[in-house]
Amino acid sequence: MWADGLTHEKEGREAIVEKMKANYYGDITKVPATGENNGMTLYDLIDTDPGDMDWDRLIAQMSYDEMKELIYNGFHQTEAVESIAMPATLNENGPSGFTANLIGGESAMCYTGEDVMAATFNEELIKRVGGMMAEDFIYASSENDNKVYAAMYGPGANIHRTPYSGRNCEYYGEDGWLSGKIAASEIEGIQEKGVFVYVKHCALNDQEDGRYGLGTWSNEQAIREIYLEGFEGAITKGNATGVMSAFNRFGVVWSGADHGLVTGILRNEWGMKGAAVTDCSVTAPFMDYRMGLLAGQDIWDGYSTGMATLEGLEGDAAIVTAMLVTGSKKKSQKR
Protein backbone atom coordinates (compact mmCIF):
# COMPACT_ATOMS: atom_id res chain seq x y z
CA MET A 1 0.00 0.00 0.00
CA TRP A 2 1.13 3.54 -0.78
CA ALA A 3 0.21 5.44 2.39
CA ASP A 4 -0.85 8.57 0.48
CA GLY A 5 -3.40 7.35 -1.98
CA LEU A 6 -2.43 4.72 -4.54
CA THR A 7 -4.02 1.59 -3.11
CA HIS A 8 -7.21 -0.06 -4.38
CA GLU A 9 -7.35 -2.32 -1.32
CA LYS A 10 -10.20 -1.82 1.16
CA GLU A 11 -7.92 -1.78 4.20
CA GLY A 12 -5.53 0.66 2.58
CA ARG A 13 -8.28 3.09 1.65
CA GLU A 14 -9.69 2.94 5.17
CA ALA A 15 -6.29 3.87 6.58
CA ILE A 16 -6.09 6.85 4.23
CA VAL A 17 -9.61 7.94 5.23
CA GLU A 18 -8.67 7.97 8.91
CA LYS A 19 -5.56 10.00 8.13
CA MET A 20 -7.63 12.55 6.17
CA LYS A 21 -10.15 12.85 9.02
CA ALA A 22 -7.36 13.64 11.45
CA ASN A 23 -5.71 16.13 9.10
CA TYR A 24 -8.77 18.06 7.88
CA TYR A 25 -11.62 17.35 10.32
CA GLY A 26 -9.69 16.69 13.49
CA ASP A 27 -11.76 19.04 15.67
CA ILE A 28 -15.12 17.73 14.46
CA THR A 29 -16.51 15.37 17.11
CA LYS A 30 -20.27 15.99 16.95
CA VAL A 31 -22.44 14.62 14.15
CA PRO A 32 -24.36 17.51 12.54
CA ALA A 33 -28.12 17.39 12.52
CA THR A 34 -29.84 16.06 9.40
CA GLY A 35 -33.47 15.66 8.45
CA GLU A 36 -34.52 18.87 10.22
CA ASN A 37 -37.88 20.51 9.53
CA ASN A 38 -36.99 24.13 8.76
CA GLY A 39 -39.87 24.69 6.35
CA MET A 40 -37.63 25.78 3.47
CA THR A 41 -37.41 24.85 -0.19
CA LEU A 42 -34.70 25.36 -2.77
CA TYR A 43 -36.91 27.90 -4.52
CA ASP A 44 -36.81 30.11 -1.43
CA LEU A 45 -33.09 30.68 -1.96
CA ILE A 46 -33.04 31.61 -5.63
CA ASP A 47 -30.51 34.47 -6.04
CA THR A 48 -29.38 34.07 -2.41
CA ASP A 49 -25.63 34.50 -1.90
CA PRO A 50 -23.84 31.11 -1.57
CA GLY A 51 -22.34 32.25 1.73
CA ASP A 52 -25.71 32.95 3.33
CA MET A 53 -26.40 30.82 6.41
CA ASP A 54 -29.84 29.95 5.06
CA TRP A 55 -28.13 27.44 2.77
CA ASP A 56 -26.93 25.56 5.85
CA ARG A 57 -30.47 25.50 7.23
CA LEU A 58 -31.82 24.25 3.92
CA ILE A 59 -29.26 21.47 3.52
CA ALA A 60 -29.82 20.39 7.14
CA GLN A 61 -33.33 19.35 6.04
CA MET A 62 -31.84 16.57 3.90
CA SER A 63 -31.63 13.12 5.42
CA TYR A 64 -28.41 11.14 5.39
CA ASP A 65 -29.88 8.75 2.80
CA GLU A 66 -30.87 11.64 0.52
CA MET A 67 -27.37 13.11 0.66
CA LYS A 68 -25.84 9.70 0.07
CA GLU A 69 -27.95 9.00 -3.02
CA LEU A 70 -27.30 12.50 -4.40
CA ILE A 71 -23.55 11.89 -4.10
CA TYR A 72 -23.67 8.32 -5.42
CA ASN A 73 -25.87 8.77 -8.47
CA GLY A 74 -24.57 11.71 -10.47
CA PHE A 75 -24.12 10.02 -13.84
CA HIS A 76 -25.05 12.87 -16.21
CA GLN A 77 -27.65 14.06 -13.72
CA THR A 78 -28.44 15.64 -10.39
CA GLU A 79 -31.00 13.60 -8.49
CA ALA A 80 -34.21 15.10 -7.13
CA VAL A 81 -34.26 15.74 -3.38
CA GLU A 82 -37.77 15.66 -1.95
CA SER A 83 -37.03 17.24 1.43
CA ILE A 84 -35.92 20.54 -0.14
CA ALA A 85 -38.15 20.37 -3.25
CA MET A 86 -35.13 20.17 -5.55
CA PRO A 87 -36.05 18.87 -9.00
CA ALA A 88 -33.92 16.43 -10.95
CA THR A 89 -31.82 17.92 -13.73
CA LEU A 90 -29.56 16.50 -16.42
CA ASN A 91 -25.95 17.31 -17.24
CA GLU A 92 -24.41 16.57 -20.61
CA ASN A 93 -21.08 16.54 -22.33
CA GLY A 94 -19.46 19.41 -24.16
CA PRO A 95 -17.10 20.87 -24.84
CA SER A 96 -17.95 21.25 -28.54
CA GLY A 97 -21.64 21.70 -27.87
CA PHE A 98 -24.53 19.59 -26.58
CA THR A 99 -23.31 15.99 -26.98
CA ALA A 100 -25.78 13.37 -25.76
CA ASN A 101 -25.11 10.69 -28.37
CA LEU A 102 -22.34 9.20 -26.21
CA ILE A 103 -24.99 7.79 -23.86
CA GLY A 104 -27.62 6.92 -26.45
CA GLY A 105 -29.23 10.31 -26.99
CA GLU A 106 -29.02 12.90 -29.71
CA SER A 107 -26.61 15.77 -30.14
CA ALA A 108 -26.96 19.33 -31.34
CA MET A 109 -24.66 21.60 -33.34
CA CYS A 110 -20.99 20.58 -33.18
CA TYR A 111 -18.88 23.70 -32.81
CA THR A 112 -15.22 23.98 -33.62
CA GLY A 113 -12.59 22.47 -31.34
CA GLU A 114 -11.25 24.59 -28.51
CA ASP A 115 -7.81 24.79 -30.09
CA VAL A 116 -9.35 26.63 -33.04
CA MET A 117 -11.33 28.86 -30.64
CA ALA A 118 -8.13 29.89 -28.89
CA ALA A 119 -6.42 30.55 -32.21
CA THR A 120 -8.95 33.29 -32.96
CA PHE A 121 -7.74 35.41 -30.00
CA ASN A 122 -11.28 36.82 -30.12
CA GLU A 123 -12.91 36.88 -26.69
CA GLU A 124 -16.18 38.43 -27.87
CA LEU A 125 -16.62 35.84 -30.61
CA ILE A 126 -16.01 32.97 -28.20
CA LYS A 127 -18.48 34.45 -25.73
CA ARG A 128 -21.10 34.35 -28.50
CA VAL A 129 -20.19 30.71 -29.23
CA GLY A 130 -20.68 29.89 -25.55
CA GLY A 131 -24.09 31.52 -25.63
CA MET A 132 -25.13 29.45 -28.65
CA MET A 133 -23.99 26.25 -26.94
CA ALA A 134 -26.11 27.17 -23.91
CA GLU A 135 -29.14 27.75 -26.11
CA ASP A 136 -28.77 24.22 -27.48
CA PHE A 137 -28.86 22.87 -23.91
CA ILE A 138 -31.97 24.93 -23.21
CA TYR A 139 -33.73 23.81 -26.39
CA ALA A 140 -32.83 20.15 -25.67
CA SER A 141 -34.93 20.39 -22.50
CA SER A 142 -38.52 19.28 -22.84
CA GLU A 143 -41.59 19.81 -20.69
CA ASN A 144 -43.15 16.71 -22.25
CA ASP A 145 -40.71 14.24 -20.69
CA ASN A 146 -39.45 16.45 -17.83
CA LYS A 147 -35.93 16.64 -19.23
CA VAL A 148 -34.07 19.71 -18.03
CA TYR A 149 -30.45 20.05 -19.11
CA ALA A 150 -28.88 22.34 -16.54
CA ALA A 151 -25.12 21.91 -16.93
CA MET A 152 -22.37 21.19 -19.41
CA TYR A 153 -19.40 18.94 -18.74
CA GLY A 154 -16.98 21.47 -20.15
CA PRO A 155 -15.26 23.47 -21.35
CA GLY A 156 -11.92 21.66 -21.18
CA ALA A 157 -8.97 23.56 -19.75
CA ASN A 158 -6.11 21.09 -19.81
CA ILE A 159 -2.85 21.82 -21.59
CA HIS A 160 -1.50 20.29 -24.80
CA ARG A 161 1.41 18.71 -22.98
CA THR A 162 1.99 16.49 -26.01
CA PRO A 163 0.53 16.71 -29.54
CA TYR A 164 -0.58 13.08 -29.26
CA SER A 165 -3.16 13.48 -26.51
CA GLY A 166 -6.51 12.02 -27.54
CA ARG A 167 -8.49 15.00 -26.22
CA ASN A 168 -6.46 17.93 -27.53
CA CYS A 169 -9.45 19.09 -29.57
CA GLU A 170 -11.22 19.66 -26.23
CA TYR A 171 -8.44 21.87 -24.84
CA TYR A 172 -7.36 25.34 -25.91
CA GLY A 173 -3.65 24.73 -26.44
CA GLU A 174 -0.25 24.75 -24.79
CA ASP A 175 -0.55 28.27 -23.34
CA GLY A 176 -2.13 28.36 -19.87
CA TRP A 177 -2.72 32.11 -19.88
CA LEU A 178 -4.51 32.07 -23.25
CA SER A 179 -6.51 29.03 -22.16
CA GLY A 180 -7.76 30.93 -19.13
CA LYS A 181 -8.71 34.01 -21.13
CA ILE A 182 -10.67 32.12 -23.79
CA ALA A 183 -12.25 29.77 -21.24
CA ALA A 184 -13.48 32.76 -19.24
CA SER A 185 -15.15 34.25 -22.32
CA GLU A 186 -16.81 30.99 -23.32
CA ILE A 187 -18.04 30.38 -19.77
CA GLU A 188 -19.44 33.89 -19.51
CA GLY A 189 -21.47 33.24 -22.65
CA ILE A 190 -22.75 29.90 -21.36
CA GLN A 191 -23.63 30.95 -17.84
CA GLU A 192 -25.37 34.20 -18.66
CA LYS A 193 -27.99 32.05 -20.44
CA GLY A 194 -28.62 30.10 -17.23
CA VAL A 195 -26.62 26.96 -17.99
CA PHE A 196 -23.75 26.21 -15.63
CA VAL A 197 -20.44 24.51 -16.29
CA TYR A 198 -18.06 21.88 -14.95
CA VAL A 199 -14.63 22.84 -16.29
CA LYS A 200 -12.67 19.67 -16.98
CA HIS A 201 -10.53 17.64 -16.37
CA CYS A 202 -8.98 19.12 -13.24
CA ALA A 203 -6.12 18.61 -13.54
CA LEU A 204 -3.00 17.26 -15.33
CA ASN A 205 -5.20 15.08 -17.55
CA ASP A 206 -2.96 14.98 -20.60
CA GLN A 207 -3.45 11.52 -22.10
CA GLU A 208 -6.29 9.10 -22.79
CA ASP A 209 -4.75 5.61 -22.81
CA GLY A 210 -4.26 4.31 -19.30
CA ARG A 211 -5.56 7.42 -17.58
CA TYR A 212 -7.52 5.43 -14.97
CA GLY A 213 -5.39 6.20 -11.95
CA LEU A 214 -2.35 7.24 -13.95
CA GLY A 215 0.26 8.99 -11.79
CA THR A 216 1.27 12.34 -13.33
CA TRP A 217 4.48 13.85 -12.00
CA SER A 218 5.36 17.53 -11.99
CA ASN A 219 6.59 20.19 -9.58
CA GLU A 220 4.33 22.80 -8.00
CA GLN A 221 5.74 25.72 -9.97
CA ALA A 222 5.02 24.08 -13.33
CA ILE A 223 1.59 22.94 -12.16
CA ARG A 224 0.60 26.44 -11.07
CA GLU A 225 2.20 28.40 -13.90
CA ILE A 226 1.16 26.12 -16.77
CA TYR A 227 -1.24 23.28 -16.02
CA LEU A 228 -3.62 25.06 -13.63
CA GLU A 229 -3.63 28.47 -15.28
CA GLY A 230 -6.48 27.62 -17.65
CA PHE A 231 -8.63 26.50 -14.73
CA GLU A 232 -7.64 29.57 -12.73
CA GLY A 233 -8.83 31.90 -15.49
CA ALA A 234 -12.04 29.91 -15.88
CA ILE A 235 -12.86 30.34 -12.18
CA THR A 236 -11.40 33.72 -11.22
CA LYS A 237 -12.25 35.54 -14.47
CA GLY A 238 -15.11 33.48 -15.89
CA ASN A 239 -16.75 32.69 -12.51
CA ALA A 240 -17.12 29.04 -13.50
CA THR A 241 -19.67 27.35 -11.26
CA GLY A 242 -17.81 24.06 -10.94
CA VAL A 243 -15.16 21.65 -12.12
CA MET A 244 -14.87 18.03 -13.11
CA SER A 245 -11.93 16.28 -11.49
CA ALA A 246 -9.79 13.87 -13.48
CA PHE A 247 -9.05 10.14 -13.51
CA ASN A 248 -5.36 10.65 -12.96
CA ARG A 249 -3.39 11.23 -9.81
CA PHE A 250 -1.19 14.08 -8.70
CA GLY A 251 1.79 11.84 -8.07
CA VAL A 252 0.05 9.04 -6.16
CA VAL A 253 -3.06 10.91 -4.94
CA TRP A 254 -6.23 10.78 -7.09
CA SER A 255 -7.01 14.34 -8.16
CA GLY A 256 -10.50 14.24 -6.62
CA ALA A 257 -9.05 13.19 -3.26
CA ASP A 258 -6.30 15.81 -3.27
CA HIS A 259 -7.37 18.24 -0.54
CA GLY A 260 -4.71 20.73 -1.57
CA LEU A 261 -6.24 20.93 -5.05
CA VAL A 262 -9.99 20.57 -4.50
CA THR A 263 -10.25 22.63 -1.31
CA GLY A 264 -6.96 24.49 -0.99
CA ILE A 265 -6.63 25.89 -4.51
CA LEU A 266 -10.08 25.73 -6.12
CA ARG A 267 -12.02 27.03 -3.14
CA ASN A 268 -9.71 28.71 -0.66
CA GLU A 269 -7.42 30.43 -3.18
CA TRP A 270 -9.64 30.94 -6.22
CA GLY A 271 -13.03 31.21 -4.51
CA MET A 272 -14.95 28.58 -6.48
CA LYS A 273 -18.51 28.56 -5.14
CA GLY A 274 -19.98 25.57 -6.94
CA ALA A 275 -19.59 21.80 -7.04
CA ALA A 276 -16.82 19.41 -7.98
CA VAL A 277 -18.03 16.36 -9.92
CA THR A 278 -15.82 13.39 -10.71
CA ASP A 279 -15.05 12.08 -14.15
CA CYS A 280 -16.99 8.89 -14.93
CA SER A 281 -16.67 6.79 -11.77
CA VAL A 282 -18.64 3.73 -12.90
CA THR A 283 -15.49 1.66 -13.46
CA ALA A 284 -13.10 3.55 -11.17
CA PRO A 285 -13.20 2.04 -7.66
CA PHE A 286 -10.16 4.07 -6.62
CA MET A 287 -12.47 7.13 -6.55
CA ASP A 288 -13.46 6.33 -2.97
CA TYR A 289 -16.44 8.38 -1.80
CA ARG A 290 -15.00 8.96 1.67
CA MET A 291 -11.63 10.16 0.39
CA GLY A 292 -13.22 12.45 -2.16
CA LEU A 293 -15.70 14.00 0.29
CA LEU A 294 -13.00 14.68 2.86
CA ALA A 295 -10.95 16.39 0.14
CA GLY A 296 -13.86 18.56 -1.04
CA GLN A 297 -15.41 16.50 -3.86
CA ASP A 298 -19.23 16.74 -4.10
CA ILE A 299 -20.83 14.41 -6.67
CA TRP A 300 -19.72 11.24 -8.47
CA ASP A 301 -20.40 10.88 -12.20
CA GLY A 302 -21.57 7.31 -11.82
CA TYR A 303 -23.56 4.94 -9.64
CA SER A 304 -22.84 3.26 -6.31
CA THR A 305 -22.47 -0.23 -7.81
CA GLY A 306 -19.53 -2.03 -6.24
CA MET A 307 -18.10 0.97 -4.37
CA ALA A 308 -20.78 2.12 -1.92
CA THR A 309 -18.43 3.14 0.87
CA LEU A 310 -20.83 5.57 2.59
CA GLU A 311 -23.11 2.85 3.91
CA GLY A 312 -23.56 2.89 7.68
CA LEU A 313 -21.61 6.12 8.24
CA GLU A 314 -24.49 8.32 9.41
CA GLY A 315 -22.81 8.42 12.83
CA ASP A 316 -19.41 9.53 11.49
CA ALA A 317 -19.00 13.20 12.42
CA ALA A 318 -16.32 13.99 9.82
CA ILE A 319 -18.08 12.29 6.91
CA VAL A 320 -21.50 13.83 7.66
CA THR A 321 -19.91 17.26 8.06
CA ALA A 322 -18.14 16.87 4.72
CA MET A 323 -21.43 15.91 3.10
CA LEU A 324 -23.28 18.89 4.56
CA VAL A 325 -20.78 21.65 3.91
CA THR A 326 -21.81 23.61 0.80
CA GLY A 327 -19.46 24.54 -2.02
CA SER A 328 -18.26 28.02 -1.04
CA LYS A 329 -17.81 26.92 2.58
CA LYS A 330 -16.03 23.66 1.76
CA LYS A 331 -12.79 24.52 3.48
CA SER A 332 -10.72 22.64 6.02
CA GLN A 333 -12.89 22.20 9.09
CA LYS A 334 -9.92 21.84 11.41
CA ARG A 335 -9.41 24.92 13.56
Q: What is the pLDDT of residues 7-36, one digit of tens each?
A: 557 777 888 899 999 999 999 999 999 999
- DSSP per-residue letters across 92-148: EE-SSS-B-GGGTS-B---PPPHHHHHHHT-HHHHHHHHHHHHHHHHHH-BTTTTB-
Lowest mean pLDDT among 141-145, 165-169, 219-223, 256-260: 141-145
Single-letter amino acid code for the residue at 222: A
- Identify whether the C-beta of residue 227 lies closer than 8 Å to the C-beta of residue 248: no
Domains of the chain by residue range? 10-329
- Identify whether the C-beta of residue 65 lies closer than 8 Å to the C-beta of residue 91: no
Distance of CA 264 to the CA centre of its chain: 15
What pLDDT score was predicted for residue 5?
44
- Identify whether the C-beta of residue 155 lies closer than 8 Å to the C-beta of residue 95: yes
Distance of CA 169 to the CA centre of its chain: 21
On the question of pLDDT at 333 being above 80, the answer is no
What pLDDT score was predicted for residue 1?
33
pTM: 0.92
List the one residue out of 78, 60, 91 whose CA is nearest residue 323.
60
Task: List the Cα angle 100/89/40 in 5-degree steps.
Answer: 170
List the one residue out of 277, 281, 317 whose CA is nearest residue 297.
277
Give the bridge partners for 313, in sequence order: none
> H/E element holding 230?
helix 229-236
Active site residues: 279
Distance of CA 97 to the CA centre of its chain: 19
276: left (phi over 0), alpha (psi -120 to 50) or beta: beta
What pLDDT score was predicted for residue 306?
64
Share of the chain above pLDDT 70, in %: 92
Domain 10-329 bears CATH identifier 3.20.20.300: yes
